[in-house]
A and B are shown apart, each in its own frame.
Chain A
Amino acid sequence: MKAFAYVNATSERDAVAALKFDGIALPLAGGQDLLARMKDYIDTPERVVNVKNALDRTAAPTSGGGWRIGASMKIVDLLEHADIGKMYPAIIAAATDIGTPQIRHQGTVGGNLNQRPRCWYFRNEEFVCYKKGGSRCFAVNGENQYHAIFGNDGPSHIVHPSSLAVPFVAYGATFRVIGSKGEREVAAAEYFTMPDDELLTHVMLPAPGNVKTGHYEVRYKASHDWPLAFTTVVLAMNGGIVQSGRVVLGAVAPVPWRSKPAEDALAGKPLNEATAAAAAEAAVSEAKPMSGNAYKVPIARTAVKRAILNAAGIKTV
Chain B
Amino acid sequence: MIEFVLNGRGRRVRVPPMKRLLDVLREDCSLPGTKEGCGEGECGACSVLLDGRTVCSCLVPVVQVRGARVVTVEGLDRGGRPSALQRAFIDLGAAQCGICTPGMLVTAAELLRHARGRVPSEEEVREALAGNLCRCTGYQKIVDAVRAAARGASRDGAAGTSGARAPGRSRAGTARAKRSRTARTKRSRRRG
- Chain A interface residues (CB < 8 Å from chain B): 4, 6, 8, 28, 31-32, 35-36, 39-40, 48, 50, 52, 76, 99-103, 105-106, 222-224
Name the residue of chain B whose CB is nearest to the CB of A30. B59
Instruction: List CB contacts (< 8 Å) of B36-69 with chain A.
Output: 39-41, 44, 47, 50, 53-56, 59-61, 63-64
Count of CB-CB pairs between chains A and B under 8 Å: 68
Q: Which of B44, B55, B132 contacts A106 (CB 8 A)?
A: B55
- Min CB distance B39 to A, Å, is 6
Q: In the complex, what residues of A have CB within 8 A of residue B107's CB? A: 101-102
Chain B contact residues: helix, strand, loop or mixed: mixed
Name the residue of chain A whose CB is nearest to the CB of B53. A105
The contact sample of 29 A-B pairs, CB cut-off 8 A, is: A28-B61, A31-B59, A31-B60, A31-B61, A32-B41, A35-B61, A36-B59, A39-B39, A39-B40, A50-B63, A52-B64, A99-B41, A99-B131, A100-B131, A100-B132, A101-B107, A101-B128, A101-B131, A102-B41, A102-B47, A103-B56, A105-B50, A105-B55, A106-B55, A222-B126, A222-B130, A223-B127, A223-B130, A224-B131
- Min CB distance A311 to B, Å, is 25
- Min CB distance A301 to B, Å, is 28
B18 at the interface (CB under 8 A from A): yes
Closest 3 CB pairs of A and B: A100-B131, A223-B130, A105-B53
Name the residue of chain B whose CB is nearest to the CB of A100. B131
- Min CB distance B108 to A, Å, is 11
What is the interface residue range for chain B against chain A?
A: 20 to 34
- Chain B 72-114 interface 0/1 with A at a Cβ cutoff of 8 Å (1 = within): 0000000000000000000000000000000000010000000
Q: Tell whether A8 pairs with B63 under 8 Å between CB atoms, given A48-B18, A102-B44, A102-B56.
A: yes
Given contacts A6-B18, A101-B128, 18 further A-B contacts (CB under 8 A): A6-B63, A8-B17, A8-B63, A28-B61, A32-B56, A32-B59, A39-B40, A40-B40, A50-B63, A99-B131, A100-B131, A101-B130, A102-B41, A102-B131, A103-B41, A106-B60, A222-B130, A223-B127
Chain A contact residues: helix, strand, loop or mixed: mixed
Q: Tell whether A106 pairs with B56 under 8 Å between CB atoms, given A35-B61, A52-B64, A223-B130.
A: yes
In the assembly, what is the distance between CA of A50 and CA of B62, in Å?
12
Beta-carbon contact of B130 and A100 below 8 Å: yes
In the assembly, what is the distance between CA of A62 and CA of B51, in Å?
29
Name the residue of chain B whose CB is nearest to the CB of A224. B130
In the assembly, what is the distance between CA of A103 and CA of B59, in Å?
9
- Min CB distance B176 to A, Å, is 23
Q: In the complex, what residues of B have CB within 8 A of residue A39's CB? A: 39-40
In the assembly, what is the distance between CA of A99 and CA of B44, in Å?
11
In the assembly, what is the distance between CA of A4 and CA of B132, in Å?
30
- Min CB distance A34 to B, Å, is 9
In the assembly, what is the distance between CA of A36 and CA of B39, in Å?
8
Beta-carbon contact of A101 and B63 below 8 Å: no
In the assembly, what is the distance between CA of A291 and CA of B153, in Å?
55
- Min CB distance B63 to A, Å, is 7
Q: In the complex, what residues of B have CB within 8 A of residue A4's CB? A: 18
Name the residue of chain B whose CB is nearest to the CB of A5. B18
Q: In the complex, what residues of B have CB within 8 A of residue A6's CB? A: 17-18, 61, 63
Beta-carbon contact of B53 and A76 below 8 Å: yes
Q: In the complex, what residues of B have CB within 8 A of residue A52's CB? A: 64
